[in-house]
Structure 1
Amino acid sequence: MEVMEAKKTRIYSFGDKTADGNRTMKNLLGGKGANLAEMSAIGIPVPPGFTISTEVCTEYNELGDAAVKDLLKEDLKQAVAKVEKIMGASFGNDKDPLLLSVRSGARVSMPGMMDTVLNLGLNDVSVVGLAQKTGNERFAWDSYRRFIQMYGSVVMGLKPESKEDMDPFEEVIDHLKDKRNISLDTDFTIQDLKDLVYDFKDIIHKRTGLDFPTNPWEQLWGSIVAVFNSWNGNRALYYRKMHGYPADWGTAVNVQAMVFGNMGDNSGTGVCFTRDAGTGENQFNGEYLINAQGEDVVAGVRTPQQITKVGSKRWAELARVDEKARVEFYPSLEELMPEMYAELNAYQQQLEDHYRDMQDMEFTIQAGKMWILQTRNGKRTGAAMVKIAMDLLKEGMISEEEAMLLIEPYKLDELLHPVFDPKAIKKANIIAQGLPASPGAATGQIVFFADEADKFRNTILVRVETSPEDLEGMNKARGILTARGGMTSHAAVVARGIGKCCVSGAGALKINYKERKFEVDGKEFHEGEWLSINGTTGNIIEGKVATKDPELSGEFGELMTLSDKFSKMVVRTNADTPKEAAIARSFGAEGIGLTRTEHMFFESDRIRAMREMILARHEKGRRKALRMLLPMQREDFEGIFEAMDGLPVTIRLLDPPLHEFVPHQLATQKELAEEMHISLTAVKTKVHELEEFNPMLGHRGCRLGNTYPEITEMQTRAIIEAALNVKERGIKVFPEIMIPLVGTLEEYEAQEEVIRSTAKEIFEERGDTVEFMVGTMIEVPRAAIIADKIAEKADFFSFGTNDLTQMTYGYSRDDAAKFMPIYLKKGILHADPFQVVDREGVGALVKMGTEKGRSAKPNLKVGVCGEHGGDPSSVEFFCGIGLNYVSCSPFRVPIARISAAQANIKFGC
């Protein structure tokens, strides 16, 4: 008997305190759909609806529109029927229409990156029926014009023709406002709204050649397809690339019954946070608008009001509004609708307790009834992230392990960079005040368009309001300033998510895009002029303002101490100077994993001696020049050893090819010839001799040391003598000498012999010794393959994953930018292998090299000193294969420490 295959579930319904899914199903239902199902199941008043799974998005991308439409046809009808039953209205009914919203929902929060359509299901007939049913003609026509505007933009593709042009729909709205001498959408009459409907339809027909669809089912499918398509839209692609989200995740589609915040003065909508997303303070906060729909709040169409009385008073101080005016014109929801506020306050506490994390919620009040439209773990600044995690731990809401896992390692970077110097701020000229949307300090030159955010080295992006299309420019800019919008506007939410300083709602700014300027109190500020913004206070400051290093909070220190409790893998730093070493140690580095000696040779007083060594015709001349370099190198190492008192220091011998040290410009070659008292021809000849077809594979690393062993001798002498000198001063020193670019055992042995014989000679000269290690940098694939042979001689391995990636892929780091963006966009690569370790190829070599090395020497110390040492995903991998340490740049040390702790918590490594 043939077994019937079970029908695949593609649509999951929720509503009326029941749900087909739950919050554990984010990969299938997306974050929004999973949370809607969860909220419905625990009794939160959620408008009923259904979620089309992320798997359908994948099917759509593979099979196309028609095939997926056929697959969903019957399931879609059944899902809509369930919503109709709960709401007591019919989709497509002319007299009692059920209206729907269609929203995206990826498995991770991507605010504003994909598309939304509201009020779906209206046409010229049903709008009349809606008006009669509700007894509110204004509400019906307002909903209809909103629907046409959103559908026209999102589904039918009507956009501004150029960046200087306005949105075509907004242009019509502004024209009508000017004609009627009004400023707000709520001032439109019913006839105004009817006129807008017909004007919008006319624009759509003229621009697209198509009529606005009147069939609700056609509208619904068009909106579903638009959400699927938006997964691969430019802004979503950029957001995914920025956060490393794979293209094959896809997005779910959430369809819900509409509830209306624009039904009059007893209705409204808002966004709220269970804790402060900027500071982490345990204070319920948010913004709302009366007689509005949700998009109005985040789009900055009107300046929203605060939810709580406390927040409202704080906002009034920043906006310089006196208490009387605040209460009259900007009352909090707590003051205006105390019963609705109390209900909302109870739900926010219930949801935070349930999810055990700060929540970002959207709500609508429809004629005195509260609806919760969504909840998600809220985006937060780095400072807020740390405070919230440690506060929830102290409150007993979460465990130590859970507190560690609430940390996004990369966001710690926000805490480690400059803020405005208080002394400089006292002298600053504050020209305007906005809302402190995302903390921090930013100074830069003014730009007005997101695609020009990199026009100057440091820029402040100034916009009336931002949109999701601006994401790339927002990420490139040093700071973001908007004239419209509140603390929950698109600019504010995105800025906090990417760690950018942002000031929003600066209404005093009169921005003129065409002339590339803005005006404040009669004074003009043009593109390219310097401006400073303070995302912590909302101050907008004329000109440049000096910055200073931040002071880390007590919670940050507590978090770092907690990370050490769970981390088994040590974190070291890459540092070439005592200053870098000291900074890294202050951040908790437990040694240096890479000191690049070549960086010490580029300073003006040293490069001459280095060039003299290179230009020498014989060994005697090279040794003479090296004797000049010896005291300089020794001094450098002493400073680093002092900074790392008691901790190991790995020093890589000279690595780059010699051509990097010689001048290639004619004028500089002439200067060098004069200094060296040799002919210009001799200089040019030597420069030509040093040129290589592929310097990455040429005369460098241990090949250089084996060709000119006197270089290795000098560097060894500088290291060992420096170690003995600081030892005499009572400083504990543990030098580790690393031989670069080894590919054969014989290469290693030849260099090791030079190092150990030189050290022995110094010990005899000084009558003293110091313990030291000799190891190698595994960065050639062959070295990983013969690691067992090398390990019989070497004291340690350090994987140089930068070069190992280059040689494994055959990609040049210097040239990869020409094709890497295309490879990532096409999915040929899922991540840049120079940023995230390639586990299948490069990672396999690291794993094999480690295993083979320890098969010969079980206690072999193994680490990583490439840039991957500071990448959370890569750290997780290195921890899993049993490495002793990772090494990264000083400011990434806290990131690596947290990543190592999280890896141990997740995988026990």
Structure 2
Amino acid sequence: MQNNPNTTLVTPIAPIATTTHGGRAKCLQRLSRLDLPVPTTVALSFDAVHDIANGHLPDIEAILGEFPQDALLCVRPSSEDPDWGGPSAILNIGMNDARYEVLCATLGTDAASALFTRFVQSYAIHVDRLDPDMFDDVTGEGPGALQQVLQAYEVEQEIPFPTTRAEQLAGVLKSMARAWEGTSARLLRQAKGAPADAGLGLVVQQMAYGVGQGECGSGVLQLVSSKTGLPQITGRYLRQSQGRDALLGDASLFISRDPRGPSLEECVPDCFAQLVEHARLMRTRLREEMQVEFTIENGELHILDGVRVARSSRAAVRIAVQLARDKVIPIQDALMRIEPGTLNELLHRQVDRHAKRDVLGTGIAASPGAATGKLVFTATEAQASAARDEDCILVRRETSPEDIRGMHAAKAIITERGGITSHAAVIGRGIGLPCVVGVGDIRFQTRKSQLLTKDGRVIPAGETVTVDGTNGVILLGAPEMQEAALDDAFQDLMDWADAERDIGIRANADTPADAQTARNFAAQGIGLCRTEHMFFEPGRLTVMREMIFAETSDDRRAVLERLLPMQRTDFVQLFKIMQGQPVCIRLFDPPLHEFLPTDRDGQHGLADALGLPLSDVIRRVEAMVEYNPMLGLRGVRLGVTVPEIYEMQARAIFEATIEASRDGDPVEPEIMIPLVSAKREVELVKSRIDAIAAAVRTEKGTDFTFRLGVMVETPRAALRAGDIAQHCSFLSFGTNDLTQMTYGLSRDDAGRFMSDYVRQEVFDEDPFHSLDIDGVGELLTLGAQRGRTSRPGITLSLCGEHGGDPESIAFCRAAGFDYVSCSPFRVPVARLAAAQLAIGHKIQ
């Protein structure tokens, strides 16, 4: 038995592995190596359990031969990953009339009756698959209840309850094996990330009763808080109980001394001290914080199992970091133990996992975090709420650049339309604002300023709701929250990540506040500053509209002269915040019609502001309408046809460079041309920017340097990167638009059907969420190769929202990119993901 690879006695040298016998079996072997008081155990491998499911039992008598003849047994599941679950444990196998009589004499009639009764009910429900309702008429306790249970079983099955230990054990093994391989169980564990062919091991263990006449009971103990990860001896102990009963009953004792009631430490101090010592040994030798499952039988301690402590994201970071600080594990191991995406829960407030939830609707989780406030339906109302110091939630069918101030004033955003890279999603992630988009199961009745849920509830403006942007849920009311936790453990983890990673991490930042957040999260500069958002401030918007209505180049320049000092001030602030770090500024990108009012009231106001007839304003607005503005007159196309805008921005950048460099490290700005598709576009814009640079140097009598590059976001730019690179210092791939153009998908509308496409396996994943390696990735690869062939020293980067996605970072690293840039609040996620990639590469 000891050397049988499929049915083996658990000893320190037995042939047991997690991949063949499961995590529980391997843990029990490790506990036996530590000489802990673990009951005798036999482990069945995945192959053995698979054979059982197919009708081929192992040698039952050989298994039983490893245990005393009078021992009761239990069978527990042992999957490779405990999160994959498994069938319920069955306790007290071997109970029959003869064994019952013996136990009555040693444990007492009530205790023996409780053991037998529990076993019969468990066997009936989990092994024979009988309806639990068959025991509803059982009353009382002790021998009387036992006889009722046995009689109910016999009536239902039309045969007496099985009496031999071999027959009972065989029934349990067959039931658990078949349950694991059933369709429902397979689908359930696949939903938890298990492969379709995941195996199950089983462990057969001698029972430590936990009931009897002396000090008996069962419980669990751990050394840290599952919520915070801080040192705290926690757990429960229940006298006269088995298994994990202590976690279910109100009669449980505390583990350590507690003013709220009696504890194991006070009642059984010797066992408590042993438990704590065993848990500390397990932490050191198993290199993990473990929860100890134990039983006390007549004052004697038995360790039944050790499982990894359940933990929140906050606790996971604290536990991993503390293990590394204590030199229990290497720093690299600590970094690899944290799933990068879980850091989002530390960076933002979250709805407490135990809070009651009244769900109004669901959508796409576009920006993590949670916030509570009163519903408002316009950006103006959001600003008014902020002025009254009232928290509000902004509801829009979809947001536009005009909503920027309202978005900054709100605590969260809900939109009816949009996907993971829609305007609301991108801005929300950039400023750390919880956001749920594409909410399809709520009717947005914006004219009535109300929401209509699918169950018929009307949610009017002013109603308090909570947006859970982490899970894509809208809740009624104000559930309990858990605050963000950027503590010393988080900072240590980030410092260790920076020491390991080998690709740069920058942030996308449009405002000084964004830049400060990026700096706080140790971004290595700004990889994308979208300047258009700076023009939507009320004082600037009117000037911008006046420029759009200007008839001649000189008139446009005259108007832009008024915008120049405002733009220069923006850049000075950015440069000073990021002092010594690179700042990549994207020149003006959106179509001009976005700055014009679309409603009649707004057009009246514009006519009054500009002193023009309303008919002229309406005619001009209508003339600027494009059938497909995202593919129309925007980006570099504006820079070529309306060059005055780029000239003003270049001057503002250069004058800000000189001013910000006076009091600190020299600033070297990076200027990025958007939406390029032809080499000639770059030549035209470059010549004008060079001329502005020369003029500013002469006027100011000060020299400065800058870098000019291109945002590669059209397929043609990627394919012609070799030509374009001749005029550039860097190529930054904007994968939001590049994905949109490659697929022919609107990133704002794709959310309506994307879940159906992923579910039906048209796409493996939403390409706006995780980079499409096969299609868009090939364009990136071609662009990078051709750019570097033409200009070997050129800098390559990715500045779309994919920059914060670990899988996309892996692609960029493998392709030799210099850095990725993402929303400020995703910078820590990217730093950790990059470190894990570098560590994984060294291990291979």
Task: Judge conservation of contact 2:53–2:174 (CA < 8 Å) in 1.
Answer: no
Deviation at 1:796, TM superposition (A): 0.9
Partner of 1:116: 87
Distance in structure 2 (CA, Å) of the matches to 1:297 and 1:692: 68
| Cα 1:881/1:336, change in 2 over 3 Å | farther
Structure 2 unaligned blocks of 5 or more: 105-111, 374-411, 413-433, 435-462, 467-476
Partner of 1:15: 10
Q: Which of 130, 134, 141 is the aligned partner of 2:117? A: 141
Task: Judge conservation of contact 2:21–2:202 (CA < 8 Å) in 1.
Answer: no
Partner of 1:256: 203
What aligned pairs does 1:462-501 form with structure 2 within 5 A after superposition?
none
Distance in structure 1 (CA, Å) of the matches to 2:758 and 2:731: 32
Distance in structure 1 (CA, Å) of the matches to 2:98 and 2:755: 51
Task: Judge conservation of contact 1:572–1:592 (CA < 8 Å) in 2.
Answer: yes
Q: Percent identity?
A: 33
Output the amino acid matched with 1:358. E
What aligned pairs does 1:213-228 form with structure 2 within 5 A after superposition?
220-228=173-181
Output the amino acid matched with 2:16. G
Q: Which of 500, 513, 517 is the aligned partner of 1:583? A: 517
Residue range with higher mean Cα deviation, 387-396 or 891-900: 387-396
Output the amino acid matched with 1:48. T
Deviation at 1:192, TM superposition (A): 5.0
Q: Secondary structure at the match of 1:846?
A: helix
Q: Which of 263, 266, 272 is the aligned partner of 1:341? A: 272
| Cα 1:637/1:367, change in 2 over 3 Å | same
Task: Judge conservation of contact 2:226–2:312 (CA < 8 Å) in 1.
Answer: yes
Partner of 1:512: none
Q: Which of 563, 566, 571 is the aligned partner of 2:500? A: 566
Task: Judge conservation of contact 2:650–2:689 (CA < 8 Å) in 1.
Answer: yes
Deviation at 1:787, TM superposition (A): 2.4
Output the amino acid matched with 2:250. R
Distance in structure 2 (CA, Å) of the matches to 1:635 and 1:824: 45
Partner of 2:263: 331
Deviation at 1:640, TM superposition (A): 0.6
Residue range with higher mean Cα deviation, 192-201 or 364-373: 192-201
Partner of 2:55: 73
1:414-455 alpha-carbon deviations (Å, 9 max, x no partner): 44446xxxxxxxxxxxxxxxxxxxxx89699x8455787999
Partner of 2:460: none
Q: Does 1:100 align with 2:88?
A: no
Distance in structure 2 (CA, Å) of the matches to 1:129 and 1:684: 97
Partner of 2:404: none
Partner of 2:534: 600
Output the amino acid matched with 1:263. V
1:709-756 alpha-carbon deviations (Å, 9 max, x no partner): 222222222212221222344453121011122233233323323322
Output the amino acid matched with 1:716. A
Q: Which of 845, 851, 870 is the aligned partner of 2:785? A: 851
| Cα 1:858/1:373, change in 2 over 3 Å | farther
Deviation at 1:139, TM superposition (A): 1.6
Output the amino acid matched with 2:10. G
Q: Secondary structure at the match of 1:344?
A: helix
Task: Judge conservation of contact 1:100–1:121 (CA < 8 Å) in 2.
Answer: no
Deviation at 1:653, TM superposition (A): 1.4
Output the amino acid matched with 2:114. R
What aligned pairs does 1:63-462 form with structure 2 within 5 A after superposition?
72-74=54-56, 77-78=57-58, 83-88=63-68, 99-102=74-77, 105=79, 107=81, 109-110=82-83, 114-119=85-90, 128=97, 131-132=100-101, 134-135=103-104, 136-146=112-122, 148=124, 188-189=141-142, 191=144, 220-228=173-181, 229=183, 233=187, 240=192, 245=193, 248=195, 251-257=198-204, 259=207, 263-264=211-212, 266-298=215-247, 300-302=248-250, 304-307=252-255, 309=256, 312-313=257-258, 316=259, 321=260, 326=261, 330-332=262-264, 334-365=265-296, 370-417=301-348, 447-448=356-357, 458=371
Deviation at 1:588, TM superposition (A): 1.4
Q: Secondary structure at the match of 1:116?
A: coil
Structure 1 unaligned blocks of 5 or more: 1-8, 58-67, 90-94, 159-167, 181-186, 419-439, 461-477, 479-499, 501-527, 532-541
Larger radius of gyration: 2
Distance in structure 1 (CA, Å) of the matches to 2:602 and 2:330: 62
Task: Judge conservation of contact 1:879–1:904 (CA < 8 Å) in 2.
Answer: no
Output the amino acid matched with 1:672. L
What aligned pairs does 1:697-712 form with structure 2 within 5 A after superposition?
697-712=631-646
| Cα 1:367/1:724, change in 2 over 3 Å | same
| Cα 1:726/1:286, change in 2 over 3 Å | same
Deviation at 1:331, TM superposition (A): 1.9
| Cα 1:46/1:739, change in 2 over 3 Å | farther
| Cα 1:406/1:118, change in 2 over 3 Å | closer
Q: TM-score, normalised by structure 2?
A: 0.73
Distance in structure 1 (CA, Å) of the matches to 2:184 and 2:480: 40
Task: Judge conservation of contact 2:352–2:481 (CA < 8 Å) in 1.
Answer: no
| Cα 1:794/1:134, change in 2 over 3 Å | farther
Distance in structure 2 (CA, Å) of the matches to 1:839 and 1:404: 26
Partner of 2:441: none
What aligned pairs does 1:538-553 form with structure 2 within 5 A after superposition?
552-553=486-487
Partner of 1:745: 679
Deviation at 1:795, TM superposition (A): 0.2
| Cα 1:744/1:302, change in 2 over 3 Å | farther
Distance in structure 2 (CA, Å) of the matches to 1:652 and 1:724: 19
Output the amino acid matched with 1:331. S
Task: Judge conservation of contact 1:149–1:169 (CA < 8 Å) in 2.
Answer: no
Distance in structure 2 (CA, Å) of the matches to 1:230 and 1:644: 54
Give the root-mean-square deviation of aligned CA atoms.
4.6
Q: TM-score, normalised by structure 1?
A: 0.68
Distance in structure 2 (CA, Å) of the matches to 1:213 and 1:742: 79
1:163-187 alpha-carbon deviations (Å, 9 max, x no partner): xxxxx979x97x99xxx9xxxxxx8
Deviation at 1:584, TM superposition (A): 1.8
Distance in structure 1 (CA, Å) of the matches to 2:557 and 2:772: 42
Deviation at 1:598, TM superposition (A): 1.8
Distance in structure 2 (CA, Å) of the matches to 1:114 and 1:272: 21
1:533-585 alpha-carbon deviations (Å, 9 max, x no partner): xxxxxxxxx989999976x5444444433333323322221111112212221
Q: Secondary structure at the match of 2:709?
A: strand
Distance in structure 2 (CA, Å) of the matches to 1:29 and 1:148: 27
Output the amino acid matched with 1:766. K
Output the amino acid matched with 1:289. L
| Cα 1:452/1:656, change in 2 over 3 Å | closer
Task: Judge conservation of contact 1:447–1:459 (CA < 8 Å) in 2.
Answer: no
Task: Judge conservation of contact 1:616–1:622 (CA < 8 Å) in 2.
Answer: yes
Output the amino acid matched with 2:323. L
Partner of 2:403: none
Partner of 1:788: 722
Output the amino acid matched with 1:20. P
| Cα 1:223/1:820, change in 2 over 3 Å | farther
Q: Does 1:862 align with 2:796?
A: yes
Q: Secondary structure at the match of 1:858?
A: coil
1:82-140 alpha-carbon deviations (Å, 9 max, x no partner): 54332356xxxxx998553346x353x53xx7453232797xx9665664464312221
Q: Which of 796, 799, 802 is the aligned partner of 2:733? A: 799
| Cα 1:639/1:117, change in 2 over 3 Å | same
| Cα 1:859/1:675, change in 2 over 3 Å | same
